[in-house]
Amino acid sequence: MTHPEIRQLLAPDPRRKILLLVLDGLGGLPDPATGRTELESAKIPNLDRLAREASGGRMQTIDHGVTPGSGPAHLALFGYHPYEVEIGRGVLEALGSGFELAPGDLAARANYATLDAEGVVRDRRAGRPTDQENRRLCDKLQSGIRDLAGGVEVFLLPGKEHRFTVVFRQKSASGSVAGELDPHLDDTDPQREGELPVDVRPGRPQANRSAAVVQEFLDAARQILRDEKAASGVLLRGFSGPIELTSFNECYGVRAGAIAAYPMYRGVARLVGMEVLGEPASFEEELELLESRYEDYDFFFIHFKATDSAGHSGDFAAKVRELETVDSNIPRLEALNPEVFVVTGDHSTPCVHKEHSWHPVPTIIRSPLSLPQPDAKFTERSLMHGDLGTFPAVQLMPLALAHASRLKKFGA
Amino acid sequence: MTHPEIRQLLAPDPRRKILLLVLDGLGGLPDPATGRTELESAKIPNLDRLAREASGGRMQTIDHGVTPGSGPAHLALFGYHPYEVEIGRGVLEALGSGFELAPGDLAARANYATLDAEGVVRDRRAGRPTDQENRRLCDKLQSGIRDLAGGVEVFLLPGKEHRFTVVFRQKSASGSVAGELDPHLDDTDPQREGELPVDVRPGRPQANRSAAVVQEFLDAARQILRDEKAASGVLLRGFSGPIELTSFNECYGVRAGAIAAYPMYRGVARLVGMEVLGEPASFEEELELLESRYEDYDFFFIHFKATDSAGHSGDFAAKVRELETVDSNIPRLEALNPEVFVVTGDHSTPCVHKEHSWHPVPTIIRSPLSLPQPDAKFTERSLMHGDLGTFPAVQLMPLALAHASRLKKFGA
């Protein structure tokens, strides 16, 4: 179902609440030592019980064999298929940093990197500076570069370790946002050490001006950073500009609140038009926020990051532990008594793989209209046999709305 | 597979018969007291045996989370996806009443309603008159309004209780059907009591004339009904005109006969070009009709209504009983020895929900080319694991044709 089709079916008096708990990188693969996946190894009695009471299945985030990045994965979960809605990483990062992008802005992910005297990249991550050091470097750059030729303003948004975000904004003579900086630029990051940064290349003639703007920034940055031992240069990638979307609230007839400890996920939620609630520092703070704001919204997106981080580290025991942490908090979420409680992930991050993967993600939808599965467990191999089958992520929202009796029937 | 693709594969010498038994509102959900669905509670040894002998699965009528109305559900079953083939309820009702629509006709669903002296709707259903009273009212209206200005003929088709259908037809001077009455009109039914009926509003300039025609009808009806205590007015909705379809027989290379006790289902069958056999008053009469006309057709659609009605009433025991009634008649259908015997539904109507729902519908296809499922039962949770998986309703006909050896192979 497309968004216009869904909008035509929205029930006139929706009140029932939907809770969407996303466990990042949820799906896994067996530990060779035991033959059991992370979920199969964890003691998760509450999630297992939910799986028995709920309709269940597996969600394919993007496509067969396609490993999703975090941004596209969440867009798909929210019903915006990334084949149709292309959003650059720069934009996602800028949004995730809480920066308010304007139409025509150009955003890019940036790394501090170590360049040698010849400009060759010696360390793509500049020895992984601390976040504090990152802020110092961004302040230094920002005080040296505020405006570029032709009325272009530059914003530097510090991130974690060596990562930051750059936003370029074309202003008019009066200071208002004036024109578009075409984002069709190739990455300057050579992706390996021992090579020169790649020149800023426009992907089409309209991007000639933004290529010149970015080159001017890079040259200035090299000058300003020339005395830095580690962070002597900047690499850019994921050039992109904001896009227009029909908002999540309008698509689904909900008032959606997003709760996430990591800026990136707040950014995606804000991009689709959810209201972002605070900046909780932990899952505990996320839950407190949910409880205190529960009456204000009828849809909540709650993001849990630690499962993905453990997957990336390849730390099987840690991922099991994080799953158990979530499980122990399930009764707290149930106590809010949502009409529909969805537990899923944005993609798999198997510990044996240490990366995101394409494997479909265990998913349950618990409501009074679920078809219970008396033998189910909350695992990859059990939910494979669930009544929801393996379904595309963009169908999760219609399914959740249906289970909340928030969709009218199609035709009389 | 689309209809043109199917037509290219039709075998040149089709003789094998297909029986499609549709149990309306078949799928259910567990009774909270027992944890068993209607199908899981019923004693249905014949259907269970068929499930073991057949290929089985579940059919998703329209889309994930989409609850189908009766008309769209049957169109989908017959292979016409309702996202592509939009048919108004007025047309479906007119066809269901056995009225032969002509191109350019304008049809609308109508309710008798109680309007007060100021014209405010006091009862949208006019106190639910008897069918006999409905016929009296339609006769009264019809004798007062036969022709409207500009050569428009009006047909009044009585229905159940307060429901009837109006068809408007533009005639030429010679009396033949002349022109199109554009159906882009908004409903006049305000959908709630205490409000005035909505004025007839054209949805586009081409519909100005049909709006005037309908307004003239409504004014005349108000005059004729002015002395009626209950049925003092008329509300209209679902304005629509007939559409062009490639006929079922042409799409699938069959000669199809439709057997249904309810007019609505005869209407949909006629719309897609099936021949409608008689007007049986019961399932028993449907079966007699099937037996007596069995040699005349090579595809039969047989509709069983009572499962849906019991679901709408929320009467679990009644739905179980109706399933058992069908089951006891299965040997009688098998005795006809069809090459392919399909048992399915158009959608789910769980008793706990009292409404149609989106849950996929148990489906079996029994032929000598089925893959038997020795452990299967004819239930929602057993057929979830069937060899047909969960498939879209528009793929039912290609599957049925294949099982009847009525499709050639694709490529040499």
- Residue B91's CB is within 10 A of a number of other CB atoms, namely 29
* A395 near B CB under 8 A: yes
pLDDT tens by residue, B19-30: 999 999 999 999
* B16 near A CB under 8 A: no
The pLDDT, as a whole number, for residue A75 is: 93
Instruction: Summarize the confidence of residues A330-334 as an average pLDDT.
Output: 98
Mean pLDDT of chain B: 92
Nearest Cα of chain B lies from the Cα of A399 at a distance, in angstroms, of 4
Higher pLDDT, B46 or B86: B46
The pLDDT, as a whole number, for residue A268 is: 87
Contact check, Cβ <8 Å, B72/A374: no
Three-state secondary-structure class, residue A404: coil
Cβ-nearest to B65 among A374, A402, A412 = A402
Contact check, Cβ <8 Å, A402/B67: yes
Contact check, Cβ <8 Å, A407/B66: yes
Nearest Cα of chain B lies from the Cα of A286 at a distance, in angstroms, of 29
Query: pLDDT grade, residue A259 (50/70/90)?
Result: very high
pLDDT higher than 80, residue A13? no
* A8 near B CB under 8 A: no
* A402 near B CB under 8 A: yes
pLDDT higher than 90, residue A215? yes
The pLDDT, as a whole number, for residue B245 is: 85
Q: State the amino acid at position A9 in one-letter form.
A: L
Instruction: Summarize the confidence of residues A256-265 as an average pLDDT.
Output: 91
Contact check, Cβ <8 Å, A372/B35: yes
> What is the distance between the alpha carbons of residues A374 and B245, in angstroms, rounded to a whole number?
45
Q: State the amino acid at position B90 in one-letter form.
A: G
Contact between A30 and A379 under an 8 Å Cβ cutoff? The reply is no
Chain B residues lying within 8 Å of A5, measured CB to CB: 83
- Record the pTM: 0.83
Question: What proportion of chain B, given as a percentage, has pLDDT over 70?
Answer: 98
Chain B residues lying within 8 Å of A372, measured CB to CB: 30, 35
> What is the distance between the alpha carbons of residues A163 and A195, in angstroms, rounded to a whole number?
20
Contact between B252 and B239 under an 8 Å Cβ cutoff? The reply is no
> What is the distance between the alpha carbons of residues A376 and A359, in angstroms, rounded to a whole number?
19
pLDDT tens by residue, A354-366: 999 999 999 999 9
Q: What is the ipTM of this complex?
A: 0.81
Instruction: Summarize the confidence of residues A87-91 as an average pLDDT.
Output: 82
Look up the CATH number of domain B14-87+245-403: 3.40.720.10
> What is the distance between the alpha carbons of residues B112 and B197, in angstroms, rounded to a whole number?
12
> What is the distance between the alpha carbons of residues B34 and A320, in angstroms, rounded to a whole number?
35
The pLDDT, as a whole number, for residue A412 is: 63
Contact check, Cβ <8 Å, A398/B65: yes
Chain B residue with the nearest C-alpha to that of A12: B191
pLDDT tens by residue, B2-17: 888 888 889 876 679 9
Instruction: Summarize the confidence of residues A329-343 as an average pLDDT.
Output: 98
Contact check, Cβ <8 Å, B385/A387: no
Chain A residues lying within 8 Å of B67, measured CB to CB: 402, 407-410
The pLDDT, as a whole number, for residue B178 is: 57
Contact check, Cβ <8 Å, A412/B357: no
The pLDDT, as a whole number, for residue A177 is: 57
pLDDT higher than 90, residue B89? no
Highest CATH level, class, for A98-240:
alpha beta
* B387 near A CB under 8 A: no
Residue B161 burial class via C-beta count within 10 angstroms: exposed 0-12, middle 13-18, buried 19 and up:
middle
Instruction: Summarize the confidence of residues B247-251 as an average pLDDT.
Output: 94
Query: pLDDT grade, residue B83 (50/70/90)?
Result: confident
The pLDDT, as a whole number, for residue B180 is: 82
Region for A126 from its dihedrals, namely left if φ exceeds 0, alpha if ψ lies in -120 to 50, beta otherwise: left
Contact check, Cβ <8 Å, A411/B72: yes
Domain map of chain A by residue range? 3-87+245-403, 98-240
Cβ-nearest to B69 among A374, A395, A412 = A412
Query: pLDDT grade, residue A303 (50/70/90)?
Result: very high
Contact check, Cβ <8 Å, A371/B359: yes
Phi and psi of B197, rounded to 5°?
A: -60, 150
pLDDT tens by residue, B195-234: 999 999 998 999 999 999 999 999 999 999 999 999 999 9
CA-based R_g, chain B, Å: 23
pLDDT tens by residue, B21-71: 999 999 999 999 999 999 999 999 999 999 999 999 999 999 999 999 888
Cα angle: A397, vertex A370, A41; to 5 degrees: 85
Query: pLDDT grade, residue B150 (50/70/90)?
Result: confident
Give A100's contacts (C-beta < 8 A, 6+ positions apart).
none
The pLDDT, as a whole number, for residue A176 is: 59
* A13 near B CB under 8 A: no
Higher pLDDT, A264 or A65: A65
Nearest Cα of chain B lies from the Cα of A372 at a distance, in angstroms, of 8
pLDDT higher than 60, residue B177? no
Contact check, Cβ <8 Å, B390/A389: yes
Chain B residues lying within 8 Å of A16, measured CB to CB: none
The pLDDT, as a whole number, for residue B41 is: 98
Chain A residues lying within 8 Å of B71, measured CB to CB: 411-412
Mean pLDDT of chain A: 93
Cβ-nearest to A387 among B70, B71, B384 = B384
pLDDT tens by residue, A156-177: 999 888 999 999 998 876 655 5
How distant, in Å, are the alpha carbons of B156, B170, B352 from that of B176?
A: 19, 9, 51
Chain B residues lying within 8 Å of A369, measured CB to CB: 29, 350, 352-353, 357, 359
Size of interface A-B (CB pairs under 8 A): 83
Contact check, Cβ <8 Å, A398/B82: no
Chain A residues lying within 8 Å of B189, measured CB to CB: none
Q: Which of residues 113-152 of A touch B (CB under 8 A)?
A: none
B66, B348, B353: best mutation site toward chain A, by most A Cβ within 10 Å? B66
Measure CA of the first residue to CA of the last residue in chain A; give whole Å: 18
Farthest CA pair distance, chain B:
74
> Is A3-87+245-403 in CATH node 3.40.720.10?
yes
Chain A residues lying within 8 Å of B355, measured CB to CB: 409
pLDDT higher than 80, residue A190? yes
Following DSSP, what letter does each residue of B8-35 receive, concatenated?
HHB-SS----EEEEEETTBB----TTTS
Contact between A19 and A12 under an 8 Å Cβ cutoff? The reply is no
Query: pLDDT grade, residue B348 (50/70/90)?
Result: very high
